[in-house]
Structure 1
Amino acid sequence: MTITPTPVASYPIPSGSNSRSSVDPTGPVPRLEVHDGTSLRLYDLREQAELKAEFPAPGPEWWAPVWTAPDLSFAVFGTGDGYVATAQDGTELWRQPYGTWRVDRWGYVLFTVTGPDRELRIWLRLPSGLPDATLFLTLDAEGRVLARSVLECGGYERYARLLLDADGEVIGVDVSGGSGPTTRHRLRRESGALVLAEPLPQDAVPRLPADRDYLDADSGNTRCMTVDRRGRDISWHAVPSYEVTATLRLSDFPAPGTGDCSVHNDPSISSLSGFVDDSTVLVTLHNRYDEGAVLLFGEQDWREYSHWLADPATGALHGRLEYPMSEVDYVLPLGDGTWLTQEWNAYRRWRR
């Protein structure tokens, strides 16, 4: 069964010779971010793309990461040698040298707004100078360093992120990647700085089987979805028990090369899947990358994709989405009943 989606809006992507764009779906309104080396521009995606803020870039590194303050009063750019906070009028507010690591690979910035006065705190990760330690600086809204925390975990070529409680307070640290195991520790404060405490208990941070990746959750965080890392199935779980409540397997789709799966010869379920709304999910199939075919026959790396709607309560398929254009690969469910697809010069928004 095919489903013809209804177009809702089209958002042209401002282009340049060197630029990148991405969509942040987490806020009340999806936001398009465009960074071209001269500025970072933020657009709210409503009926049209509305320019929300623009921050002049301190340098031409269009590929470098950028983090924006919650109130959009400034942005923190990861440059070749450090972090630079810039206001919308181009004023440099503060600068923090980074060191010898690559800020575009290992840099990390977190904003928290806590306490009765709703004070902004800025958390920066920097090289500690020690092989198995991680340095976090705590800054106030003006960029003044309030605390320096050296945590005896992490180190070079490992990812480190801070964990927050329901009130937005920093309670722990998560370290992953590289050659070491994933570790999670509670943090306590000593003289204003953070120090490692006991390992976090199993139920303090969601944990999934090692062969599954977390994808998305419904609006109330009562149900989440995961995908098998080999792309064999998607499962839905009750939260917080993570008991499996429904599963959609590759065998539940039409056979490869037939019917609505006629574009697929060796399909896999893609991580480009998520909640369209609480009662509908979008699931993406793609052909596995055939390296041998590329080497022998020079075929392109582009793979056939298809998008399907399904019921997260039962795992039952509703049908395949049939767009008016061909070669649709990227998709981003927004959770409000709509989703985005991307073409080379625009994002398109759809609903069932």
Structure 2
Amino acid sequence: MTITPELVASYPIPDPAGTRTLLDPSGPVPRLHVRSTEALRLYELGERAELAAEFPAPSPELWSRTWPAPDLSFAVFGTPAGYVAVARDGRTLWRQPYGTWEVDRWGYVAFTPAGPGREPRTWLRLPSGLPDSTLLLTLDTEGAVLARSMLRCGGYERFVSLLLDECGEVTGVKVSGGGEADTRYRAGWESGAVVLGGRMPQDAEAGHLPAEREYLGASPRQTRCMSVDRRGRDVSWHELPSYRVIASLRLSDFPAPGTGDCSVHNDPSISSWSGFVDEDTAMVTLHNTYDEAAVYVFGEERWREHSHWLADPATGTLHGRVEYPMPEVDEVVPLGDGTWITRDWNTYHRWRR
């Protein structure tokens, strides 16, 4: 069964050949980050794309990552030489060099809001110089270093991030990547620095999921969460807060590869480009492996089309495959409000069932 979605809005990408884009669905209104050598521009995606903030780039050099502050008063650029904070009027607020380092892979910036008796803080990861440690700097609003925290975890080839509670307080540290399972540590802000505690159990967060499963997020009302087997063999929905499995979909529950609505696939797996469309509907994406037959026959490298399916998270029942009016739809971001966003080469499209 195929489902023809309704197009809600289209958001053309300014200068698609000269920019890079990032879709951020985390806020009440999804944002599109458009990055060029001249500036970072943030657009809020409603009925149309509305420019919310623009930050001039600190230099014409290639810069790979950006982190806008929650209030959009400034943004931090990851340049080849260091982090640079830039205000909306183009003023450089502060710089923090990090030497030779792959900021695109290992750089990390986080923000914690003001609270009772507490000013906003900015957190930066820097190279520690040690193979098994991570250095975090804590900065105030002027860029002055409040604390240097050397954490005995992470190291060079692993990504390190903070776990924060709803008030923005540090509760833990997450270490991921490097071909190893994620590891989480308890942590807190004590005596002016981040203090690392013991390791959390493997099933501690995102919830009580075993290491072989990837957490895909919670439903809008926080009644369920979704996970996928890291090898792409199945997707499951869990009751919250117990994390009891309430429904699952396996690859064998889809039509056989090469037949029916799976005719575009030869050897699919379930992708992490999956999530909640709304409380009662989930998006499940099948991601094809590399199609060697196409290379042999047509003499060029290419990928076969991916496919997007809607399912019932309470029962695991498939509603059907989404059939778009354009071919080769790959990237999809469910927003939790009943819509989802896809992209072609020069436009983002927002859909609903």
Shorter chain as normaliser: what TM range?
A: over 0.9
Q: How many angstroms apart in 2 are the aligned matches of 1:286 and 1:188?
A: 39
Give, in angstroms, the shift of residue 178 of structure 1: 2.8
Q: Which moved more, 1:15-24 or 1:200-209?
A: 200-209
Task: Tell me which moved more, 115-124 or 272-281.
Answer: 115-124
Q: Tell me how far apart the structure 2 counterparts of residues 252 and 129 of structure 1 sit (CA, whole Å).
A: 49
Equivalences for 1:1-352 in 2 at 5 Å? Answer: 1-15=1-15, 17-62=17-62, 64-117=64-117, 119-178=119-178, 182-200=182-200, 204-206=204-206, 207-291=208-292, 294=295, 298-352=299-353
The TM-score, its normalising length taken from structure 2, stands at 0.93
Given residue 129 of structure 1, which amino acid in structure 2 is its aligned partner? G
Deviation at 1:94, TM superposition (A): 0.5
| Deviation larger for 80-89 or 55-64 | 55-64
Structure 1 residues 223 and 180, CA gap change in structure 2 (3 angstroms): closer
Looking at structure 2, the residues matched to 257 and 191 of structure 1 have their Cα atoms a distance apart, in angstroms, of: 61
Deviation at 1:325, TM superposition (A): 1.8
Q: Closer, same or farther in 2 for the Cα pair 1:117/1:252, shift >3 Å?
A: same
Q: Deviations over 1:218-272 (max 9, x none)?
A: 0122211111222221111112322211011122222222222222222222221
Indicate the larger mover: 219-228 or 272-281.
219-228
1:186 touches 1:199 (CA, 8 Å); kept in 2? Answer: yes
TM-score (norm. length: structure 1): 0.93
Gaps of 5+ in 1: none
Contact 1:20–1:62 under 8 Å retained in 2: no
Q: How far does the alpha carbon of each residue in 1:250-301 deviate from its partner, in whole angstroms, 9 at most, with x for none?
A: 2222222222222222222222111110100111223221357537863423
> Which region of structure 1 is more displaced relative to structure 2, 143-152 or 41-50?
143-152
2:110–2:122 contact (8 Å) kept in structure 1: yes
For 2:272 and 2:183, locate their aligned partners in 1 and report how far apart those are by CA, in whole Å: 24
Find the residue that maps to 2:120 and give its secondary structure: strand
Q: Does structure 2 conserve the Cα–Cα contact (< 8 Å) formed by 1:20 and 1:63?
A: no
CA contact (8 A) 1:9 1:350 kept: yes
Letter in 2 for 1:164: L
**Aligned residue type for 2:260:** G
Structure 1, 20-29 or 94-103: larger mean CA deviation: 94-103
Shift of 1:116: 1.5
Length, aligned pairs only: 352
Give unmatched runs, 5+ long, in structure 2: none
Q: Is the 8 A contact 2:65 2:104 kept in 1?
A: yes
Taking the aligned partners of 2:161 and 2:53, their CA distance within structure 1 comes to 27
Amino acid in structure 2 at the alignment position of 1:223 = R
Please report how far the alpha carbon of residue 78 of structure 1 lies from its aligned counterpart in structure 2 after TM superposition: 0.5
Moved more, 38-47 or 241-250: 241-250
Contact 1:101 1:127 in 2 (8 A): yes
The farther-off stretch of 69-78 and 174-183 is 174-183
Superposed CA RMSD in Å reads: 2.1
With 219-228 and 205-214 compared, the bigger mean Cα shift is at: 205-214
* Cα separation, 2, equivalents of 1:293 and 1:320: 23
CA distance in 2, matches of 1:196, 1:330: 37
Q: Pick closer, same or farther for the CA change 1:213–1:63 going to 2, 3 Å.
A: farther
Quick one: structure 1 residues 232 and 154, their matched pair in 2 at CA, closer, same or farther if it must change by over 3 Å?
closer
Q: Is the 8 A contact 1:110 1:124 kept in 2?
A: yes
